[in-house]
């Protein structure tokens, strides 16, 4: 689909926000889904870049991404009025809670953006919403105010420049509801959603081991087709019996369903 | 009425297969058709070519399996597929309903595996043709690829030929010293046609982590970067064999496809371009038609191999 950039801005260290408008099925977007964006107009870049959807309205969509290579660099250089070729929305999003449940959202670094859309969608239907975001340092932190407007926000930074010093696990333990030595019988939350680096996802799952929570993680992997045809982006099912395509079977998975 | 009378004829006949147009997806870039069928009806294509099918299900290589390179990409998927039993039961019947010829790509680790899979596929009645993927390491010959030794290849093709009752294509690897010798060996073994080229072996290093980007270290290079090599090889092979040649390697447009046809290809395969643009195949077909209209070319026969 051909869309048009309306806004771009740098919002943290190496981190950019971009909004587009134009012909796109905005109202079909589910939190956790992503778009595949074409880079340039020639054939220098043959692979689209997969970027999670951070926010969407009836006529525009916002992505937040880190500049890590030539494609994201090109994206960060777009200006209002520039055209973009996007595919999407793609992938299976976060299963939303049905009843009035207690929800914890955990984000690490550039894993946070899709959790913003998730938080927006669940904040009115859940009994309570706790949001924990971890960044390396204050300069990497973005959208804290926005997240704080959606739920109870706690931050963690590796160097302590913002929020708790340490990891998101330290910040979770520092939450009044949780406490530093949570017992396996403790059930503070019914649903836990996590998106961020793989070590963080493993740590979050481990923290809740033995507790009856429903846990969902969003994974990423280098992609080629983005639609499930090429099997480039797989992870293993937890019983090692099947390949799961992160683009089409995910990116969101029940954390018991996949090998992290 | 004039438009219909002057409409170019894009049809192609390859080894007995009647194709409505000369464009089909390259194996591995189209799954078993379901994902791209969401974007357009598969019967717009000349044929569908499936992912490689092996005897047993294969998970494939560890990730990362793909990475972009300059005007191209590397892949080391590792022949991930659900195995021939699942494919015959669950994928081919669905494909058979899509009103398009289905070419099934077959891979193996041993000659016996190739023969068994090819026999099952051709016996299923659900494949219009078999494409032999010979870029696999031959575990019995110490891992050397079947497609890099003329003697081993001819022997393999002969064995498959005995059990394959549908047209048999051999997909040639470009990672050889002289592709003409390999092509002639496949022809001598009984191939009905040749498809070329498969990927070139390449590598990319992450200089910050100081290690290869792909978990498999090396992968196959595809995309526009390889087109000149592919065109050269199609040209060379078409000159020495009598059987039809299907060309591929970096085709992103009708213009690219025309190059291959002029080099001697009777049809073309479009692979990596599907990732950039899911409509790559239908657009390539439309652009071929447009080129023929603009230049008063009434059928592909007028330009096939016209530069040799």
Query: Are B217 and B64 spatial neighbours (Cβ–Cβ below 8 Å)?
Result: no
Q: Which of residues 183-242 of B touch A (CB under 8 A)?
A: 223-224
Given a cut of 80, is residue B174 above it in pLDDT?
Answer: yes
Q: Helices (DSSP H) in B104-178: which residue ranges?
A: 111-124, 150-163
pLDDT in tens, B113-156: 999 999 999 999 999 999 999 987 666 666 778 999 999 999 99
pLDDT in tens, B269-299: 999 999 999 999 999 999 999 999 999 999 9
Taking an 8 Å cut-off on Cβ atoms, the answer to whether A222 and B36 are in contact is no
- R_g of chain A, CA atoms, integer Å: 18
pLDDT in tens, B59-85: 999 999 999 999 999 999 999 999 999
Taking an 8 Å cut-off on Cβ atoms, the answer to whether B77 and A87 are in contact is no
Q: Which residues of A touch B (CB under 8 A)?
A: 38, 43-48, 71, 87, 221-236, 243, 248
**pTM of the shown model:** 0.96
Mean pLDDT by 10 residues, chain A (260 residues): 98 98 98 98 96 98 98 98 98 92 97 98 93 98 98 97 98 86 82 98 96 96 98 95 96 97
The catalytic site residues of B sit at: 136
Q: Give residues with Cβ within 8 angstroms of B168, minimum separation 6.
A: B118, B129, B130, B132, B157, B160, B161, B190, B191, B192, B193
Query: Are A195 and A227 spatial neighbours (Cβ–Cβ below 8 Å)?
Result: no
In this prediction, residue A177 carries a pLDDT of 77
To the nearest whole Å, the CA of A222 is away from the closest chain B CA by: 6
CA distance A85 to A103: 35
Beta bridge partners of residue A237, listed in sequence order? A258
Of B30, B38, B223, the CB nearest to A46: B223
């Amino acid at each position: 689909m051909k869309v048009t950039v309306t806004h771009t801005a740098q919002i943290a260290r190496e981190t950019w926000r971009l909004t587009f408008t134009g012909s796109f099925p905005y109202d079909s977007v589910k939190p956790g889904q992503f778009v595949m964006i074409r880079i340039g107009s020639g054939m220098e870049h043959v692979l689209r870049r997969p970027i999670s959807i951070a926010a969407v309205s009836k006529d525009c969509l916002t992505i937040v991404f880190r500049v890590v290579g030539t494609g994201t660099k090109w994206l960060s250089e777009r200006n209002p009025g520039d055209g973009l070729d996007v595919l999407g929305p793609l992938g299976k999003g976060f299963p939303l809670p049905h009843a009035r449940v207690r929800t914890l959202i955990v984000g690490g670094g550039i894993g946070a953006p899709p959790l913003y859309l998730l938080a927006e969608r669940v904040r009115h239907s859940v009994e309570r919403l706790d949001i924990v975001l971890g960044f390396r340092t204050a300069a990497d932190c973005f959208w804290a105010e926005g997240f704080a407007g959606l739920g109870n926000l706690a931050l963690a930074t590796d160097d302590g420049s913002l929020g708790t010093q340490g990891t998101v696990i330290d910040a979770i333990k520092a939450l009044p509801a949780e406490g530093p030595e949570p017992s396996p019988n403790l059930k503070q939350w019914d649903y836990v959603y996590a998106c961020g680096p793989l070590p963080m996802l493993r740590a979050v799952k481990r923290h809740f081991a033995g507790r009856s929570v429903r846990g969902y993680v969003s994974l990423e992997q280098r992609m080629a087709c983005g639609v499930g045809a090429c099997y480039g982006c797989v992870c293993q099912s937890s019983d090692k019996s099947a390949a799961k395509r992160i683009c089409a079977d995910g990116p969101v998975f029940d954390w018991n369903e996949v090998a992290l | 009425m004039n438009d219909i009378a002057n409409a170019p004829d894009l049809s192609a006949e390859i080894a007995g297969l009647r194709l409505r147009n000369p464009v089909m997806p390259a194996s591995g870039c189209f799954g078993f058709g379901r994902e791209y069928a969401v974007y357009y009806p598969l019967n717009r294509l000349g044929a569908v070519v499936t992912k490689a099918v092996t005897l047993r299900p294969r998970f494939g290589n560890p990730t990362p399996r793909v990475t972009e390179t300059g005007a191209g990409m590397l892949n080391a998927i590792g022949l991930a597929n659900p195995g021939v039993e699942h494919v015959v039961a669950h994928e081919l019947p669905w494909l058979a309903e899509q009103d398009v010829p289905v070419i099934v790509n077959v891979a193996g680790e041993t000659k016996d595996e190739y023969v068994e899979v090819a026999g099952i596929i051709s016996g299923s009645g659900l494949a219009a043709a078999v494409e032999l993927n010979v870029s696999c390491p031959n575990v019995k010959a110490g891992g050397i690829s079947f497609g890099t030794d003329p003697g081993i290849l001819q022997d393999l093709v002969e064995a498959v030929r005995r059990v394959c009752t549908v047209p048999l294509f051999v997909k040639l690897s470009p990672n050889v010293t002289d592709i003409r010798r390999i092509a002639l060996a496949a022809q001598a073994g009984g191939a009905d046609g040749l498809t070329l080229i498969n990927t070139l072996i390449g590598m990319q290093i992450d200089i910050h982590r100081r290690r290869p980007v792909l978990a498999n270290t090396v992968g196959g290079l595809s995309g526009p970067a390889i087109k000149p090599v592919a065109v050269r090889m199609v040209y060379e092979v078409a000159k020495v064999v009598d059987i039809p040649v299907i060309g591929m390697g970096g085709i992103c447009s009708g213009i690219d496809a025309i190059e291959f046809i002029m080099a001697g290809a009777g049809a073309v395969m479009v692979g990596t371009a599907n990732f950039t643009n899911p409509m790559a195949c239908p657009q390539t077909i439309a652009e071929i038609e447009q080129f023929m209209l603009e230049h008063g070319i009434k059928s592909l026969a007028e330009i096939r191999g016209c530069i040799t």
